[in-house]
Amino acid sequence: MHPLVVFRFDRPHLPGCLVAVALAVGPGCSASSTATPAGPAADGGTRAPPGIGGVGGTDAAAFSGGGGALFADAATADASDSGPTCTGDGGPQTFTCTGSLSVARDVPAGAGLPDGTVLVSGGWNQASGVLTSAEIYEPLTGSFAPAGSMASGHLWGGWGAPLPVLPNGAVLVAGGLDASGQLSDTAELYDPSTRTFSTTGTMAVATISMNPVLLEDGSVLYVGGWDSVLSQTVSELPGWSYAGSGTAAVERYYPAQGVFRTTGSLAEDRLFGCNVRLPNGDVLAIAGAQGPTTIEHGVEQYDVTGGRWTTIGSFTGAPFCAGAFALPNGKVLLTGTGGLIGATLAVPGVALFDPAKGAIGPTMDATAGFSPVFVQLASGDVLALGGTLNGAPTATAQVYAVATNAWRTVGSLNQPRGGAVGAFLLASGAVLVVGGTDQNGAPLATAEIYHP
């Protein structure tokens, strides 16, 4: 029997929320200053220990049909809705403020579009629960405009990465949690030309999948993930409870037919893990975790032509891995939590993998305990921002330089951002940062721009 594991956001104003789940462009879940160690939960399950969790963050960080929504989207007030005091001047390595979202969103999904705008969709806030609305950010005006609504919620859909943008410019949103907190097997396509969503084929297995990978032929690979969760109450969302160690099932979405088809299964179940496309078009599934205390050590490679997975290596003491970035030098930056059991690097969760040698090693000068959202810049370097530091939302930001294998601290966010922050690369090379949570755990509507 596998244990029941409970993942919940830490919202101090709500009783019983003890463990934070994180996301952004690399995920994570961890205890905050009010959290307790791993052990029996009030509902008879098991609490996730500090450092476990998930789209762009780690300790508490960043990356929708069927079923009617239980809530109508509505703006939710929080202390930061009026916006932070902006001090950035738009110079290199600084943040400046921009227009605000129409509603506060924690766990926003999104993607940069071919026309230079950015889709921001879904997420969660206290007033509306699981959100189905979407917005478009226009860089030229620095403002957001309505962009239709999804048929259902897809909270955590495609967790750990921006939503896949298909060759025709459409955006795929699949799986995740619906408005009732249950897994969804439905999928939708956003059409930028009409700013509307339409349903497409359903998934064979309803999951919260990590890091969907867009393949060279335009299909999209969904690898493992959560395939068993318990229905959540409104106060428990946007977290979830699951039983088991995830699934080894893998699905591939084919845009021309609008269908999902199962493809070769993984050798082992994977709840977490870094999925990344190699220069030859194949995909690696790297390390990760199968549960709150079980590290996933295997490395598997997917043959896109044959549709099969092959185990090509195994790490000893591998760090928890939640997001991966293919670098210009052929190596892969692995990102994850700041302190998972079994991690052995000086700053766990930020490591460099060499696929040619099958070797893993540290990066230099990363901020210890920093649990950010990650996003790759146009140069190939990687920006880390927000998340938690010493148990509280932070404005800290760092950039990993491929040339030196080292991190450097850059200008701070104008708004400390915890929770699951959205971070999306713009056509200009700047980065749009949206949502997340403030120091009270309340979702944010504010947005800002990082200037490389």
Collapsing DSSP to helix, strand or coil, 25 comes out as coil
C-alpha pair distances (Å), 150 with each of 147, 186, 233, 430, 436: 10, 11, 21, 27, 20
Residue 180: pLDDT over 60: yes
Residue type, 237: L
Q: Which CATH superfamily is domain 4-63+75-451 in?
A: Kelch-type beta propeller (2.120.10.80)
Percent of the chain with pLDDT over 70: 76
Is the confidence at residue 91, as pLDDT, over 60?
Answer: yes
pLDDT over 50 at 25, yes or no: no
Q: Are strands 431-434 and 447-451 parallel, antiparallel or unpaired?
A: antiparallel
Average pLDDT of span 168-196: 95
Position 358 scores a pLDDT of 84
pLDDT at residue 234, rounded to an integer: 61
The confidence score (pLDDT) of residue 177 equals 92
Q: Please give the average per-residue pLDDT across 99-113, as a whole number.
A: 97
Residue 49 per-residue DSSP state: P
Residue 41 has pLDDT above 50, yes or no: no
- For the cut 90, the answer to whether the pLDDT of residue 237 exceeds it is no
- Widest Cα–Cα separation across the chain: 56
268/250 Cα distance (integer angstroms): 11
Binning pLDDT at 50, 70 and 90, where does residue 317 land? low
- pLDDT of 412 reads 95
Mean pLDDT lowest among 89-93, 253-257, 298-302, 364-368: 364-368
Q: Do residues 388 and 60 lie in contact, with contact meaning Cβ atoms separated by under 8 Å?
A: yes
Residue 16 above 50 pLDDT? no
Confidence band for 202, pLDDT divided at 50, 70 and 90: very high
At residue 300, the pLDDT reads: 94
Q: Would you state the pLDDT for residue 245? A: 79
What is the average pLDDT across 201-219? 95
Give me the mean pLDDT over the 97-107 stretch: 97
Residue 327 confidence (pLDDT) above 90 = yes
Look up the pTM and report it: 0.83
Tell which wins on pLDDT, 113 or 39. Answer: 113
The strand pairing partners of 274, in sequence order, are 286
Taking the C-alpha atoms of residue 364 and residue 408, their distance in angstroms, rounded to an integer, is 9
Query: Is residue 425 within a helix (H) or strand (E), and if so which, with residue range?
Result: strand 422-425
For 452, other C-beta atoms within 10 Å of its C-beta total 17
pLDDT in tens, 417-445: 998 999 999 999 999 999 999 999 999 99
At residue 349, does pLDDT exceed 90?
Answer: no
42-77 confidence digits (pLDDT tens) = 222 222 222 222 223 322 222 222 222 222 233 333
> In terms of pLDDT, which residue wins out, 288 or 2?
288
What pLDDT score does 65 carry?
22
Per-residue pLDDT at 416 exceeds 50: yes
Q: Where are the domains of the chain?
A: 4-63+75-451
